[in-house]
Structure 1
Amino acid sequence: MSNLNRKIVVVTGGGSGIGLAIAKRLASEGANVVITGRRQAVLDEAVALLGDRAVGIVADVSKTSSLEALYADVRRRFGRIDVLVVNAGGGVHAPLGQITEAQIDQQFSTNVKGVVLTIQGALSLLSAGSNVVIIGSTASMDPGPTMSIYGATKAAVRNMVRSWVAELKGSDIRLNIVSPGPTNTDSLREAFGDKAEEGLAFLTAKSPLGRIGEPEEIASAVAFLASDEASYINGVELFADGGASQT
């Protein structure tokens, strides 16, 4: 178990899926967790599940003004952030020739601009010993057919982290990426649309472990990197995909 007791944690996109699993894991280890999302009803349901250690605050990571309001609220309530989990993001399947301008803008706005604004806005609340965990994707190196734009956004995040680690030298703030492979969430099934079963079968066959991941398994990787047990780990991209991206 990680040593996260009384840590102040912010998880963007924490109302469902992998983000909610991360919030549950960190709260179970004693952290006070702030989850964000764009829908109040979803956050309310998640907070009811998480219990007294959780707070839900509506925020859009693609908008500076929304993040400023979020961090002002966090400062008022807690005064600091010990762990920032940058999880909000999403992807759209589209083959070359059918990629729309709106799809490009949507994915880069959340997955790239949103990551920049989220971390940049939190800097004044982070201090020596705090850390940031970004949820990337194995698509950063193995996007597969129809996921070129999504993969490009995740590759961009990997390269931004390479730069930021150097820029944060001397601050004692760690910055790492957890890149999940296919994970058993509603959003994965929704991405495949009416071909969900076919898509899941393909992903299962590709996995050396013969299955896709569970959100709780991704949460375990995040909990490790967020803890002091990972105090000498900085700037890594940890692939949590059962080895699928290496084959």
Structure 2
Amino acid sequence: MDLELGGKTALVTGGTRGVGRGIVLALARAGVDVATCYKQDGEAVESLERELKEIGGDHHVIKADLADPAQIEALLTEVGSHYGHLDVLVNNAGTISHIPYAQLPLAEWQRIINTNLTAAHLVIQGALPLLHEGSSVVSIGSKSAEVGIPLRAHYTATKSALIGLTRSVAKELGSQGVRINVVALGVIETEALHALPEEQRTLMLKRYSDKTALGRLGLPDEVAGAILWLASDLSRYVTGATIAVDGGIS
């Protein structure tokens, strides 16, 4: 099916690894000109640039630490200068740590909040001049916002807050024809999982696969499918929603 995304422009934050990378490549293959950003140099950045060059299109991979508001502003300025507008904006960049709540340091609470929530807010707010009627904004959320997960109170708080932010902003931007939604993920199989020691990887695969209705983990391409739908006119009456892409996990 042709989703008629050819010629559109997109910014995907945190797009060199995992879910973000899958989204970037899927959009590029659909004919979208994609800008993405990364925090640290490395092979993931270089290999993504090579893949995007092979796909073809006007793509840009930009270094930016989204924990720094000045770098967010610079990123959006660069994207705006090059594309002039954005049809799709995906807030994917995020971080996580696992700490018992009783021992959670304020500095770590603030780090997670700044990266996962404040950065998303600043990206959306800063991109407003680039958005237009028909633009679609998507933030990558988590099933944890619904169920809660031990050792991740700070992370879960950010994903819950993204839902509230989305519902409120949807009501403000709706009259302008701009849609904003959350895609709430379950456990997705990425290179981070593959990098674990074999015994730990096998244990995690079984543990989380058994929790899903489909009996397996999700793939970045399957998350990207939801993003493609939200980027297209097929979802033109969907806004303020939280869409689960979690394999029926419980």
Provide TM-score, normalisation by structure 1: 0.92
1:230 aligns with 2:225: no
1:86 aligns with 2:91: yes
Q: For the residues of structure 1 that align with 2:153 and 2:84, how far apart are their CA atoms?
A: 40
Residue of structure 2 aligned with 1:199, choices 201, 204, 217 = 204
8 Å contact 1:44–1:56 — kept in the other structure? no
- Cα drift, residue 64 of structure 1: 2.1
Q: How do 1:89-168 residues align onto structure 2 when only pairs under 5 Å count?
A: 89-168=94-173
> What is the aligned partner in structure 2 of residue 55 from structure 1?
60
Aligned amino acid, residue 7 of structure 1: K
8 Å contact 2:171–2:240 — kept in the other structure? no
- Cα drift, residue 99 of structure 1: 2.3
Q: How do 1:160-179 residues align onto structure 2 when only pairs under 5 Å count?
A: 160-179=165-184
How many residues align? The count is 245
Q: For the residues of structure 2 that align with 1:17 and 1:30, how far apart are their CA atoms?
A: 21
- Cα drift, residue 195 of structure 1: 4.1
Q: How do 1:15-30 residues align onto structure 2 when only pairs under 5 Å count?
A: 15-30=16-31
Q: For the residues of structure 1 that align with 2:101 and 2:201, how far apart are their CA atoms?
A: 21
> What is the aligned partner in structure 1 of residue 217 from structure 2?
212
Distance 1:191 1:112, change over 3 A: farther
> What is the aligned partner in structure 1 of residue 36 from structure 2?
35
Root-mean-square deviation (CA, aligned residues, Å) is 1.9
The 3-state SS of whatever aligns with 1:18 is: helix
- Cα drift, residue 83 of structure 1: 0.4
1:46 aligns with 2:48: yes
The 3-state SS of whatever aligns with 2:182 is: strand
After alignment, is 56-65 or 8-17 more displaced? 56-65
Cα deviation 1:31-64 (Å, max 9, x = unaligned): 0010111124343321211223221011122222
Aligned amino acid, residue 23 of structure 1: V
Q: For the residues of structure 2 that align with 1:30 and 1:150, how far apart are their CA atoms?
A: 34
Q: For the residues of structure 2 that align with 1:86 and 1:24, how far apart are their CA atoms?
A: 15
Aligned amino acid, residue 184 of structure 1: E
- Cα drift, residue 76 of structure 1: 1.9
Cα deviation 1:111-159 (Å, max 9, x = unaligned): 1101101101111111111110111111111232222221111001101
8 Å contact 2:168–2:240 — kept in the other structure? no
Q: For the residues of structure 1 that align with 2:128 and 2:101, how far apart are their CA atoms?
A: 38
Which 5+ residue runs of structure 1 have no aligned equivalent?
none
Which 5+ residue runs of structure 2 have no aligned equivalent?
none
The 3-state SS of whatever aligns with 1:169 is: helix
Provide TM-score, normalisation by structure 2: 0.91
- Cα drift, residue 216 of structure 1: 0.6
8 Å contact 2:90–2:138 — kept in the other structure? yes
Aligned amino acid, residue 31 of structure 1: V
- Cα drift, residue 192 of structure 1: 9.9
